[in-house]
Chains A and B, each alone.
Chain A
Amino acid sequence: MRVARKGLIARKEQRAAYLFLSPWLIGLALFWVVPILASVLLSLSEWNIITPPHWQGVQNYREMLFDDRTFWVSIRVTLKYMLLSVPLYLVCGLLLSLLLNLKIRGINLFRTILFLPSVLSGVAVAVLWVALLNPDVGAINEVLKTLGISDPPRWLDSPTWAVPSVVLVGLWGIGGGAIIYLAGLQNISAQLYEAALLDGAGPWQRFRYVTLPMITPTLLFVLLTGLIDAFQVFDIAYVLSRGGQGGLGDSLQFYLINLWNEAFVNGRYGYASALAWVMVLVAAAVILLIFRTSGRWVYYEYDPERER
């Protein structure tokens, strides 16, 4: 009798749980499962929405790999951005958060100001920097000239400097990344520092043997999101290349810019779906690779409070 009653309560709870979950389950089916299936089929066909879809097997993938110059350009631009931005943001974000973690008077004001750019939209930031980076009259080059650099970079007007310009604009908003590091730093137990201090560790040793190992999970997180984000650069590149045209000599032809152009400018929905799948597969491969190697350098503290 009691068992039956318990089962009834559990069944009731289960039914309630699925009711609570229903918005997400419906959303999952409509906005994830259906599009994923549709995307697989689309990537194997040619479709411009007007004429009926035309099945063509792996033709889209073949074209991408062997006949599409722009695809390879977009890969090169994205990789260049990735190699420049990921290490730079990783190190600068960490240094900034160490600075903002100091206990000194007025630190909250400094934090507020330095985090500010991270709430601004990519478009607003890009519009501002288009003006600042103007090679002939912009403020950046005027400052560089006063500093004695007679021939400053031509930034967006130069195929070499276009990607570094995007990296520079992102660096201006590095405070957003520092928030995540700061959270990681504040989770480090003060006892560890006290113990290190008692052992006679200097500032560098405290950083090297306490802070750095304890913050590796945050480093892993920032590394992964940085790599994934490189595939999703859009807003800034869209504005800086005057409406997603890819910039001078395709120097701002980022992966997502190319995908957007193929889908929504050229109307090649099948081909764009194939591009999206390549993006997902490459990103997944990168994530797996990093996770595989992360065991060697990421330090997880055993924390009984988290075991539940």
Chain B
Amino acid sequence: MKMIEAPERIESPPEVAPRNAVLRYRVRRISYKIFVYLLLLGLCSLILLPVAWMLTAALKPDLEPVFTPTPEWFPTKFWHWENFRRVLTESMPFLRYMINTMIIVVGNILGVLLSCSLVGFAFARLRFRGSKVLFYILIVTMLIPWQALMVPQFLFFVKLGWYGTYLPLIVPSFGGTAFFIFLIRQYMRTIPKDLDDAARVDGLNTWQIFWRIILPLSTPVLTVCAVFTFLASWNNLLGPLIYLDSDEKFTVAIGLANLVTRADTPWNLTMAANLVTILPTVIVYFFVQKKLIGGIASVGLKG
């Protein structure tokens, strides 16, 4: 993704300008830069200070008040790292919640990558009757929020006997997700068609073209889809809330929500649990953020 921006705002100073004009120009330029940096630093501290407060609170011992008249933004004198161990295994089962959530996440990533790459390939590179109509249907399903259908879907899965299992949270992803199919299709369309023709001359069939040529070339978009799927299913509250009924099966989102909704959880442990559950998403985010932002940018919105 090439970076294009508004050109620098100030035109270059006239060659024979009087000394103080040049000076004025420089002062204006520097003060503009200082203003921008101050603004950015201010905005970043609005993001980071609450997170720092959360860490401070999480490291406090049980009897120390979490709320202080002047908010304490950075780890102060308390460093009770064992609070994290307590929420993971001892006082709260967040390690189990994380493993449970991971099962759903892995299932969803497998489902999305498998089905969406197959379907995206067909839409991007194969000719078949009804392709236009089916593509319109795909776009329409992208616009309908799944929440609109959650009641009949719930009843359907209950009738199948899947209530209380992870199946309703995993199996639908094997039917493809419209948004990811769309992303993959857009990406695969940019791969030169000559590759397919050359491969056909070499005697490869459609499956081999998909598996050996197009799929390996599509890893950037597949990575984006996998990361989005990870974030969406790790963070999902409504789905697990509807389908899971026992504490052994709960996910991190339900576990966290329960800390607040069922009251009297000490705040230091609540914040420790919160940090523990956001850590995996933050780590993944730092590793792939360039690709993620580029991924959204490359697809464009006019397509």
A residues at B contact (CB < 8 Å): 10, 12-14, 16-18, 20-21, 23-24, 26-28, 30-32, 34-36, 38-39, 42, 49, 96, 99, 101-104, 110-117, 119-124, 126-132, 134, 137-139, 142-143, 146, 172, 175, 179-180, 182-190, 193-194, 197, 203, 206, 211, 217-218, 221, 228, 231-232, 234-235, 238-239, 242-243, 256, 259-260, 263-264, 269, 272-273, 276-277, 279-280, 283, 287, 300, 303, 306, 308
Give the CA-CA distance A114 to B46 in the complex, in Å. Answer: 9
Majority secondary structure, B binding face: helix
| Residues A121 and B301 in contact, CB atoms below 8 Å apart | no
Q: Is there an interface contact between A280 and B148, defined as CB atoms closer than 8 Å? A: yes
Across-interface contacts of A143 in B (CB, < 8 A)? 71
Check: B217 CB closer than 8 A to any chain A CB: no
Given A32-B141, A243-B257, A306-B302: A17 touches B40 (CB 8 Å cut-off): no
B187 interface residue per 8 A CB criterion: no
B154 contacts which of A175, A203, A263 (Cβ < 8 Å)? A263
Check A131–B267 contact: CB distance below 8 A.
Answer: yes
Q: Given A24-B115, A131-B57, A280-B144, is A113 in contact with B44 using a C-beta cutoff of 8 Å?
A: yes
- Chain A residues, CB < 8 A from B286: 112
A131 vs B72: C-alpha distance in the bound complex, in angstroms? 13
Are B153 and A31 closer than 8 Å at their CB atoms?
Answer: yes
What are 20 inter-chain pairs, A to B, with CB distance below 8 A? A20-B119, A23-B115, A23-B119, A24-B119, A27-B172, A38-B155, A102-B5, A104-B33, A121-B278, A123-B237, A172-B46, A187-B300, A206-B6, A217-B301, A221-B301, A242-B260, A243-B257, A256-B147, A272-B151, A306-B302
- Measured between beta carbons, the chain A residues less than 8 angstroms from B115 are 23-24, 27
Contact with A along B145-161 (1 / 0, CB 8 A): 10111111111101000
B238 contacts A234, C-beta separation under 8 Å: yes
A138 contacts B67, C-beta separation under 8 Å: yes
